[in-house]
Chain A
Amino acid sequence: MTTVDDAPAVAAPPAGPLDRLRKLRAEGRLAAQYRTVASLLAELAHGENALTDLARAGQLLSRLDPDEAVRETAAAGSPVDTITVAITGHSTLGNLTAPLTAELARHGIVLRPRLSDFDAYLRDLQDTGSLLYTSGADLALVVLDPQMIFDELPKPWLVEDLERAAAAKLAQLDALATRYVEHGTGTLVLNTVPLLRAHTHQLVDLASRNRLAIAWRELNIGLLRLASTHSRVAVLDLEPLIAAGGPVTEPRMASYAKTYLGDELLARYAREVAHLARTLRAQAKKVLVLDADNTLWDGVLGDDGPDGIAAATTFRGEAFGQFQTVVKQLGSQGVLLAVASKNDQDNVLQVLREHPDMVLREADLARVNANWSPKDGNLRDIADKLNLGVDSFVFVDDSPFECGLVAASLPGVAVVRLDEEPALHIEKLLADGWFDVRELTAEDRARTALYRTEAARQDLLDSAGSMEEYLGQLGVVVTVARVTEGQVARVAQLTLRTNQFNLTTQRLQPADLRARLDDPAYLVLSIRSADRFGDNGVVGAVFARRAGDGLHVENMLLSCRVFARGIEQATIATVLAQARAEGLAAVHASYRPTAKNKGVRGFYPSVGFATAAETAAMDGGELRFVHDLAELPAVPAHLHLDTELERPPS
């Protein structure tokens, strides 16, 4: 018999993530455990005081030497990624380092901050010897604040003075952005500038106040336009961040420390910068996997039946319907949507097809996995079926158990933890810019349809007797052609997103690609494909440069949707034939291994290239190949190949 006396002592509650971080630091294990840090920070990011807690964690992390983190994680087998960020501005910006350290650490990236002096931004942008230019920074943050204008006004000032100062500042920043793009190597990050009541109400007449407001908006619009007129310039709009809450400025911090932007605003700014860093590194998430019960609809389908669940008509139901609308909005922009639900597959499909409340329908979803297996396994299955890495997934669930399971079992998956308040689902989903990309292409918008036709191809494959029979029935048409202006965004994006069939993983921003297009020594080709199920659009590219000893293929890549249909063989046959037609001596190519492209290591030998050299594993283990053009590979018989290689007359 159990009595009160011998009942086990109540276990102490598990230490919170901040305490576990402090413990790691106290034990000197922070550097070696930097990857664990990301999951601790993910927990903090779900909390009520996320921004404050992350800044505190960032404070701890920022005292760690980045080199030590790289060294110790490398010793443990996988070195962490680092990013160098130069920080300058008009204001004191010491408070930015902690939240920025934390926001980047959430993505497993160690910050190497290069903080400039107070109010040095103009000098830093002007002087190509400043740390903006010399630190090798991937991101150059030039943090703008309202005081940069007001400090330049005569005392006292008229609204005309402000109009002139704002216009002059915009022109100056435009010229300095041009200078940065010309001499700098990273991405310049500017921001729009808030206008405070303490500014507008220094003017007592309403007409002047109105003119001030207009001049200020024109400054901000002009700043935003700099992002479209300059490559490698990003402008973060602070307005939505300010609208999310927290004071724009703390008057005492502004007065005593010359910190003109408040901590909470800087924390939100840091989050946007971290996602920008992910975007530039092509680490945007591609797939949104959603739970169903109490995530997409109110109620539990298995218990309540289709008539007992709601995504419209009731207070709570409408909130779920609005959430579905936002999910569909993301889906319309190339985010692949999938469902992972503990339910019977047929019941979920029936709801998606027939339930009157649903905004999301079966056609919006690339996969529906409704079954009773653990969700981490279902996420792996969805990744296999879509031929994508599970680390490109975002998982959304209202169950703390499922969220915890996926976070623990698949640390690369970003987990969005919903709760029992559906009106907050949208904010929680959008709290991080997981799907941010630089530019959307037509292929992005049609992506779900592309993956759904992929399922139809799979059915054909399953019913065909052999691979040859399948390919024969598929009716593949391949077009290998010079990249046109209209394809620049898509081809650059392919270089940034493609990981598996990517021979050297050379990433190209649109500006890098244009430089190659303008260079007559370059052969830059796009690969389009289509079959009986539809047009796949641009699915790959080849970058090659003519030199004295032949054609050098810098890189070749192909979307994972269209592997193993003979498209890669047809493409390389085209390149080889072109080299021979131009009278070149040989074609040189290389393979540079990454964690994800092992599958194409043998590609060049399989199409007749000889291995010319292999560098040591510690130098990257690059393989070099050469084709002597004596015997060209045949274009696979099952496909139809069109080529457009002539250079347009200039």
Chain B
Amino acid sequence: MTEDDFITLVRDELGLPLANDELDSELDGVVSWDSLHILRLVAAVERETSRRIPIGRLLADRSLRAIYDRVNAAVAA
């Protein structure tokens, strides 16, 4: 999954108006982010990739980049 795919998914699934460079922002700084968003995002990635992603560890991540890296690692595994 490319960075662009990931950003598009975040926009589509969560309806968040996210700029491309916000992949590196802290989550607290991203517009109206809440903790349910991570879970919904993972559910969407799983639907798209048919791969299961370990959520428990993701919840501690502080940036979309970190989430993206974990997601990619899980999808590539």
Residues of A participating in the B interface, judged by any CB pair closer than 8 Å:
18, 52, 56, 59-60, 62-63, 92, 94-95, 98, 250, 252-253, 256-257, 259, 263
Q: Are B56 and A250 in contact (CB under 8 A)?
A: no
Return A455 CB to nearest CB of chain B, in Å: 51
What CA separation (Å) do A263 and B39 show in the bound complex? 11
Q: Are B15 and A256 in contact (CB under 8 A)?
A: no
Q: Are B55 and A60 in contact (CB under 8 A)?
A: no
Q: Are A63 and B56 in contact (CB under 8 A)?
A: no
The residue from A18, A62, A98, A263 contacting B43, defined by CB atoms under 8 A apart: A263
* Complex interface: chain B residues within 8 A of A252 (CB): 39, 42, 55-56
Contacts A94-B36, A256-B55; A250 near B43 (Cβ below 8 A):
yes
Considering the complex of A and B, which 6 residue pairs feature the smallest CB-CB distances, nearest first?
A: A59-B15, A252-B55, A60-B15, A257-B39, A94-B36, A253-B39
> Is B13 interfacial (CB 8 A cutoff)?
yes
Q: Are B43 and A253 in contact (CB under 8 A)?
A: yes
The residue from B35, B40, B42 contacting A95, defined by CB atoms under 8 A apart: B40
* Complex interface: chain A residues within 8 A of B35 (CB): 257
B23-52 near A? 1/0 per residue, CB < 8 Å: 000000000001110011011000100000
Contacts A56-B12, A59-B13, A59-B15; A92 near B43 (Cβ below 8 A):
no
Q: Are A256 and B39 in contact (CB under 8 A)?
A: yes
* Chain A residue nearest to B58 in the complex (CB): A256
What CA separation (Å) do A252 and B42 show in the bound complex? 10
Most B CB within 10 A of own CB, among A52, A63, A98, A257: A257
Return B8 CB to nearest CB of chain A, in Å: 11
What CA separation (Å) do A362 and B15 show in the bound complex? 51
Q: Are A59 and B14 in contact (CB under 8 A)?
A: yes
Contacts A52-B47, A250-B43, A263-B43; A257 near B15 (Cβ below 8 A):
no
Chain B interface category by residue count? 10 to 19
* Complex interface: chain B residues within 8 A of A253 (CB): 39, 43
> Is B59 interfacial (CB 8 A cutoff)?
yes
* Complex interface: chain A residues within 8 A of B55 (CB): 252, 256
* Complex interface: chain A residues within 8 A of B43 (CB): 250, 253, 263
| Interface SS of B by simple majority | helix
What CA separation (Å) do A52 and B42 show in the bound complex? 14
What CA separation (Å) do A257 and B12 show in the bound complex? 21
What CA separation (Å) do A244 and B45 show in the bound complex? 23
Q: Are A63 and B39 in contact (CB under 8 A)?
A: no
* Chain B residue nearest to A62 in the complex (CB): B15
* Complex interface: chain B residues within 8 A of A59 (CB): 13-15
What CA separation (Å) do A263 and B44 show in the bound complex? 11
What CA separation (Å) do A59 and B47 show in the bound complex? 17
What are 6 inter-chain pairs, A to B, with CB distance below 8 A? A56-B12, A59-B15, A60-B15, A257-B39, A259-B36, A263-B43
The residue from A52, A56, A62, A257 contacting B36, defined by CB atoms under 8 A apart: A257
Return B20 CB to nearest CB of chain A, in Å: 16
Q: Are B36 and A95 in contact (CB under 8 A)?
A: yes
* Chain A residue nearest to B40 in the complex (CB): A95
Known: A56-B12, A250-B43, A256-B55. 15 other contacts (CB 8 A): A18-B12, A56-B13, A59-B15, A63-B15, A92-B36, A95-B36, A252-B42, A252-B55, A252-B56, A253-B39, A256-B39, A256-B56, A257-B35, A257-B39, A259-B36
* Complex interface: chain A residues within 8 A of B42 (CB): 252
Return B64 CB to nearest CB of chain A, in Å: 18
Return B58 CB to nearest CB of chain A, in Å: 9
* Chain A residue nearest to B14 in the complex (CB): A59
* Chain A residue nearest to B15 in the complex (CB): A59
B2-13 near A? 1/0 per residue, CB < 8 Å: 000000000011
What CA separation (Å) do A152 and B72 show in the bound complex? 40
What CA separation (Å) do A62 and B15 show in the bound complex? 9
* Chain A residue nearest to B55 in the complex (CB): A252
* Chain A residue nearest to B32 in the complex (CB): A63
Return B31 CB to nearest CB of chain A, in Å: 10
* Complex interface: chain A residues within 8 A of B15 (CB): 56, 59-60, 62-63, 98
What CA separation (Å) do A56 and B47 show in the bound complex? 14
What CA separation (Å) do A94 and B35 show in the bound complex? 11
* Chain A residue nearest to B47 in the complex (CB): A52
* Complex interface: chain B residues within 8 A of A94 (CB): 34, 36
What CA separation (Å) do A182 and B40 show in the bound complex? 39
